[in-house]
Structure 1
């Protein structure tokens, strides 16, 4: 049999049940959700499903008036969808690499554009980075998740986790920052010298400064954020 035959291709690429629970990495860039109930996922992330699953756009007051106002401010009013039912759901986001975390009472901030899916039982809230909103296209917002449950986020290529220690702050490019531990509150600082070095004519070079004890996740890619429709 040719190593390029259809049978060989199917054998190499077909779906496999790994028995890992609700969220499984079917490949590095496709998340399998073994659905039995509800999850939240990024709008438009479904690529395939089997079974009895319904998809519902996030309701206007689904999460209360406070979150509705924040979502209006971020321009991301229709970013989440609810998948409900029983079956297998496959989701992805522009071929980005997927990371799964099982929160065990922990908390984490994830850049809103990189949040792929999370269990309905997790507590979450939207945080708008107001200081940087006017400086970048669409600004930046993030989601704080806390509690018991699984969450999946995406990154362009392999993510790198940097440890933050007291007295040793870590500085990151906001466009390359994916996530950070829930106890950290980043500051925004400007670097005029870096702006001059990069030859950027408009605006300052904005950096995120993480100080304290925790971690921050970056990706080897500067993402351009745009507001939703």
Structure 2
């Protein structure tokens, strides 16, 4: 196992030319976008492309000063790039597993660090988690998406979806929380005894509580994101 001739390796790993969906998983950890117009993707996620595609960071007036101001406050710098043109674009994020969600006039909120790409027809906005800005080292903003179109999210390992019901709230670690129903409003709470019990960093004392009806997507990994506003 693991020994291939060059031709055997090419045959086993070459791109699938038969696929033509707008978003297509080339592998579980690489997304192929069949671009004919434009798409939003995480800055720095481009692996390769064919055809005529141009990339630009989100412009100051792209969605008005309000969103740019909120993003600047989040300390994340420019988190989204716009790819425009015709061709095949391949994107990935540090080998994380990719899941494609097809929204049908639905709303979902995604942790800013776990959003890989989405169709330009979706309405989106950035939501800051102001209450935890001083308590968490990263993941300070979320992106709320709504409408019809595809969204690609990333997780460390396989995601798990937890159902929230009126009689059963769901409590999660913010660093393991990937996305949730767009209408849910998480409540942030601290638990000193929980922090003491775990015996790790200060972030362990923060919890997210989801109440109502909906779902929460979590990953089996606590992703602590440090400010990287100066990097791409």
TM-score category (smaller protein): over 0.9
Q: Which moved more, 1:134-143 or 1:181-190?
A: 134-143
Q: Hey, what does 2:92 align to over in structure 1? A: 92
Q: Normalised by the size of structure 2, how large is the TM-score?
A: 0.94
Contact kept? 2:38, 2:82, Cα under 8 Å: yes
Contact kept? 2:116, 2:152, Cα under 8 Å: yes
> What are the superposed Cα offsets for residues 63-122 of structure 1, whole Å, 9 maximum, x if unpaired?
101101111111123111110000000000000000101111000000000100011111
Contact kept? 2:111, 2:177, Cα under 8 Å: yes
* TM-aligned CA deviation for residue 187 of structure 1: 0.2
> What are the superposed Cα offsets for residues 130-178 of structure 1, whole Å, 9 maximum, x if unpaired?
1111001145210000001111010001100001111200000000000
Q: Hey, what does 1:113 align to over in structure 2? A: 113
Report the Cα distance in structure 2 between the residues aligned to 1:130 and 1:218, rounded to whole angstroms: 21
Distance 1:109 1:18, change over 3 A: farther
RMSD value, Cα: 1.6
Report the Cα distance in structure 1 between the residues aligned to 2:61 and 2:161, rounded to whole angstroms: 35
Q: Normalised by the size of structure 1, how large is the TM-score?
A: 0.95
Query: How do residues 206-221 of structure 1 correspond to structure 2 at under 5 angstroms?
Result: 206-221=206-221
* TM-aligned CA deviation for residue 17 of structure 1: 3.1
Query: How do residues 59-98 of structure 1 correspond to structure 2 at under 5 angstroms?
Result: 59-98=59-98
| 2:137 match: secondary structure | coil
Report the Cα distance in structure 1 between the residues aligned to 2:113 and 2:80, rounded to whole angstroms: 11
Report the Cα distance in structure 1 between the residues aligned to 2:224 and 2:8, rounded to whole angstroms: 39
Query: How do residues 80-159 of structure 1 correspond to structure 2 at under 5 angstroms?
Result: 80-138=80-138, 140-159=140-159
Aligned residues: 228
Report the Cα distance in structure 1 between the residues aligned to 2:48 and 2:167, rounded to whole angstroms: 47
Unaligned runs of 5+ in 1: none
